[in-house]
Amino acid sequence: MSPRQTVLVVDGTREVRALVEITLGRMRLHTRSACTLREARDHLRQYRFDFCLTDLHLPDGSGLELLKHIRQDHSRVPVALLSDDTSQQATVSALRAGACDLLHKPLDPKRLRALIDTQLKLPAPREAETSKRLLGSSPPMAALRHQISKLAPSLASVYITGESGSGKERVARLIHDLSPRAGQAFIAVNCAAIPATLMESEFFGHRKGSFSGALADQPGLFMAAHGGTLFLDEVAELPLAMQVKLLRALQERSVRAVGSQTEKAVDVRILCATHQALGHQVEAGHFRQDLYYRLNVIELRVPPLRERPADIAPLARHILQRLATRSGQPVVELRAQALQALETYDFPGNVRELENLLERAQTLCEGQWIELADLNLPSAVQLEPPPTSAPTPFDLALHLQQVERQLLLQALEACRWNRTAAARRLGLSLRSMRYRLKKLGLD
């Protein structure tokens, strides 16, 4: 860590500010303190900060107001909240508001040091890397990338929803890779693939001789992911008995291996996914409500492929290039008619179906072009016949609106979704920027 890094400490109590300053001074960090919301905003205008720790309750306002201000105008500064409210709901609310963590009073200096050390080592989100890992320039994908860049630095659990084949595990890996835990393990497990009788052993480990076939100690998935991220795919498939044990492990942050009498502390970030509506599973009594709230601190929806047909062409090119590299053959291309058919297809299997379809077409096609017949799409997919009558009159207002929308999205992405910077880039006032975003449904 560089000694030039500076932390903004905001708290109305002199003793708390002094404790934080002493703790951070031993970490060779500079600090600037404020006792009010107004003073904190003045500091933010004058100085550059790498981290902010603020009390939830300030003499002239709320730490959430300061968090909102930093998220809007200083979006790359991580913020942790400090509060004497130890309830789970307080933590959930803080994380959903964009805080990287909520620390409880009386402040634990050891936990504060660990949090700040982790956050300051986190590299700035790499927009190019995010775009490379999640292909597509459509508005749904731009929004998804923006959400990932906001929630990745947090320690909050993320519930990833989306249809089968839409790329939920890819999103989970990207969240991990952009998080402070990027250097640690990412463990992915499909909950539907583990037999119910082996689940406890798989998750929490077992001791040698604890059951028939236990020939050696095994650490389990939680311990394997210690310090990193555990991704629970198809979490709705967990039986109720295992849900109880998982909830306790998350609450206590410790696990007990099968056959052991002691628990071991474990530090993991939980990401989970399912193609089912987990809320409906709770209503039906198939999933515990308390576990649902524990996992669903932040919900992230991965859009299906049919909602972003403009992304099919770049996805197809990327897939075909990858297939050619793997096979050592020249890259094949899609005929215009074949691409048009793909763009009108519903893709119930999403990106995974597109990959399988193109791999089959590449194998069956003759020459360097994939024809419509090579795709072998369902017969229900029909291309629209070319117009035989006069074309529809050109809608200038709609065209201009689409151009404006695209320019706004490009500016926001270039400025990492900082509205003030994007408005400056476009030569607009912030008020005008907000009006246009609202008008186009981008707010």
Q: Assess whether 38 and 163 both reside in one domain.
A: no
Please report the pLDDT score of residue 312 as a whole number: 94
Residues 153-203: tens digit of each pLDDT: 777 899 999 999 999 999 999 999 888 788 889 999 999 999 988 899 999
Q: Which of 256, 278, 301 is the last residue of a domain?
A: 301
In a domain, 137, yes or no: yes
Please report the pLDDT score of residue 389 as a whole number: 46
pLDDT band at 55 (very low <50, low <70, confident <90, very high): very high
Please report the pLDDT score of residue 394 as a whole number: 53
pLDDT band at 402 (very low <50, low <70, confident <90, very high): confident
Q: Assess whether 289 and 313 both reside in one domain.
A: no
Please report the pLDDT score of residue 2 as a whole number: 47
d(CA 436, CA 424): 14
Q: Assess whether 267 and 163 both reside in one domain.
A: yes
CATH number, domain of 348, equals: 1.10.8.60
In a domain, 274, yes or no: yes
Q: Which of 120, 138, 169 is the last residue of a domain?
A: 120
Q: Assess whether 213 and 277 both reside in one domain.
A: yes
Q: Assess whether 247 and 359 both reside in one domain.
A: no
In a domain, 254, yes or no: yes
Residues 113-159: tens digit of each pLDDT: 888 887 776 555 554 455 567 888 899 998 998 888 878 877 789 99
How many structural domains compose the chain? Answer: 4
Cis check: omega of the bond before 391, within 30 degrees of 0: no
Residues 232-255: tens digit of each pLDDT: 999 999 999 999 999 999 988 899
Burial class (CB in 10 A: 0-12, 13-18, 19+), 366: exposed
Q: Which has the closest alpha carbon to 359: 376, 382, 340, 335?
A: 376
Q: Assess whether 107 and 250 both reside in one domain.
A: no
pLDDT band at 100 (very low <50, low <70, confident <90, very high): confident
Please report the pLDDT score of residue 1 as a whole number: 42
**pLDDT at residue 72 greater than cutoff 80:** yes
Contact 220, 185 (CB under 8 A): no
Q: Assess whether 199 and 247 both reside in one domain.
A: yes
In a domain, 387, yes or no: no
In a domain, 248, yes or no: yes
Q: Assess whether 274 and 177 both reside in one domain.
A: yes
Please report the pLDDT score of residue 130 as a whole number: 57
Higher-pLDDT residue of 130, 64: 64
Q: Assess whether 114 and 134 both reside in one domain.
A: no
Q: Which domain holds residue 424?
A: 397-439
Distances from the Cα of 414 to the Cαs of 127, 128, 363, 407, 419, in angstroms? 8, 10, 39, 11, 11
Please report the pLDDT score of residue 129 as a whole number: 54
Looking from the CA of 254 toward its CB, the CA atoms found within 13 Å total: 8
CATH number, domain of 240, equals: 3.40.50.300
d(CA 412, CA 392): 33
What one-character-per-residue DSSP string does 100-117 give? Answer: SEEEESSP-HHHHHHHHH
**pLDDT at residue 319 greater than cutoff 80:** yes
Q: Can you tell me the mean pLDDT for 379-391? A: 49
CATH number, domain of 49, equals: 3.40.50.2300
CB-CB neighbours of 17 under 10 Å: 19
Q: Which long-range contacts (C-beta less than 8 Å, at least 24 apart) are formed by 312-321?
A: 312/339, 312/342, 312/343, 312/354, 313/339, 313/343, 314/135, 314/136, 314/137, 315/135, 315/136, 315/351, 315/354, 316/342, 316/354, 316/358, 318/135, 319/354, 319/355, 319/358, 319/359, 320/358, 320/362
Q: What average pLDDT does the chain have?
A: 85
Q: Can you tell me the mean pLDDT for 275-287? A: 90
Please report the pLDDT score of residue 364 as a whole number: 85
In a domain, 388, yes or no: no
Q: Assess whether 167 and 78 both reside in one domain.
A: no
In a domain, 213, yes or no: yes
Q: Which of 100, 120, 140 is the last residue of a domain?
A: 120
Please report the pLDDT score of residue 382 as a whole number: 46
In a domain, 358, yes or no: yes
Q: Assess whether 116 and 131 both reside in one domain.
A: no
Q: Provide Rg for the chain, Cα atoms.
A: 25
pTM (predicted TM-score): 0.67
Q: Assess whether 224 and 160 both reside in one domain.
A: yes
Return the minimum-mean-pLDDT range out of 99-108, 216-225, 277-286, 353-362.
99-108
CATH number, domain of 420, equals: 1.10.10
